[in-house]
Amino acid sequence: MVSQTEEKLSSLAIDRSASRGGALRPAIWMMGIAVCGGAGGFALWTYLDSAPLEVRVSVARTPEIAASAKAVLDGNGYVVARRQATVSSKTSGVVVSVYIEEGMQVEEGQLLAQLDDTFQAARKNLVASQISELEASLEEIDIQLQEATTHLTRLSALAEDNFASEEILQAAQFGQSRLEARRGRVRKSLEVLQNQLAIQDQLLEDMKIRAPFSGVVIAKAAQPGETISPVSGGGEFTRTGICTIVDMDSLEVEVDVSEAYINRVVPGQQATVEPTAFPNTRLPARVIAIIPTADRAKETVRVRVGFTKNDERMLPDMGVQGSFLEAGAIAELVTVPEGVTIPSSALDASGSQPRVWVVSDGVVDERLVEVAESDEVLARVSDGLRVGETVVVDLASLPSESLRDGREVAVL
């Protein structure tokens, strides 16, 4: 009886385990959906991040300058010195001392080097001794002549009173004449020796090599102990010069102009000179002369162009480009700003130092730069970027943190 009642009650009981499992099943489904959504989002983000980023770019350019006078003709040339000399000695000798180095500024007459002057000094001393000997002889002759003159005066007085014969008087006269002739010959010999002494002084001075004009030493060719000669001795051990001096105030430009356009150039015409070493500078100049001959091989005519104002940066043999201006134009000094210009939208100022993103071979790389000046349109970069390099612009329109080193990009 009891058992039947328990069975009936058991059949009426609720199965809690079944209801608990049914309640957990929706939560598991929701968790699965979230995990799948996150994985899909991550996969989509990874795909989008690995795909080439579409960007707009611009090329770094040379800063523009204000418009200047129009050039009617251009030509290439070189800086030359109209006053340049390889300084040598007047005679052969051994170098004792050299007082100059390359790059030294020297003045006209400044001592550059000293040659061995031992022989010349000895010759000078010999001539000076000979002069002293002749001067002593001349003094002796003067005394003898004074004595002969006094003796002749006495004999003349005696002869007037017939106390001296004519023969004795004539002998005294001849003796005086011989002494006067001897004195004249000694004086001539003394004059010769004095001229020889002057020559020896000059030879001694020639052992000192001096600067013929003021300038800058650009080459030092000899050292102490070497033999120097004004002409080549045919051997490799004999130098023909001490140094080469250039007068920097005499620098000018020689430009080769095609003979087909030489009619566009006239003496006195205004021109500008742009040195290859300083492409941002154009120096004012003018045409000095047109050399009246042509180069048959190059079919060019050489034109001499002088600087309106000397520039210490100009050096002999520098390459330049000469531009001849139109009639009535006045050449002025023009300095192109340094660096490159890029759109201001290419600057990324989010870090401690401005940077740009340089595009090369389809990828971008970060580049720190120094900005000299900028406005709403253009920025001038003074360091960190070269002319011709490509940078990403319109950075504000790109997704945040979308640019990084090595990221592939597609240029619109």
46 φ/ψ angles, rounded to the nearest 5 degrees: -65, -40
- Kindly list the distances between the CA atom of residue 333 and the CA atoms of 66, 161, 310, 316, in Å, as whole numbers in the listed order: 12, 103, 11, 20
Residue 48 confidence class, pLDDT cut points 50, 70, 90:
very low
Residue 44 confidence class, pLDDT cut points 50, 70, 90:
very low
pLDDT tens track for 232-280 = 655 556 788 899 999 999 999 999 999 999 999 999 999 999 999 887 7
The yes-or-no verdict on residue 12 having pLDDT over 90 is no
What would the mean pLDDT of 177-206 be, rounded to a whole number?
Answer: 93
pLDDT tens track for 366-400 = 899 988 888 888 998 988 898 889 999 988 888 87
What would the mean pLDDT of 342-349 be, rounded to a whole number?
Answer: 89
The yes-or-no verdict on residue 203 having pLDDT over 60 is yes
Q: Residue 305 corresponds to which tokens in the numbers above?
A: 């162009």
pLDDT tens track for 131-156 = 999 999 999 999 998 998 898 888 88
* pTM greater than 0.85 (yes/no): no
Query: What pLDDT is recorded for position 282?
Result: 86
The yes-or-no verdict on residue 43 having pLDDT over 50 is no
pLDDT tens track for 63-114 = 765 445 578 889 999 999 999 999 998 888 999 999 999 999 999 999 999 9
Residues of the chain above pLDDT 70, percent: 83
Residues of the chain above pLDDT 90, percent: 47
The yes-or-no verdict on residue 5 having pLDDT over 60 is no
The yes-or-no verdict on residue 205 having pLDDT over 90 is yes
Query: What pLDDT is recorded for position 18?
Result: 47
Mean of pLDDT over the chain? 84
Query: What pLDDT is recorded for position 231?
Result: 77
Residue 13 confidence class, pLDDT cut points 50, 70, 90:
low
Cα–Cα distance for residue pair 327/70, rounded to 1 Å:
9
* Nearby residues of 344 by Cβ (< 8 Å), 6 or more positions away: 374, 375, 376, 377, 378, 379
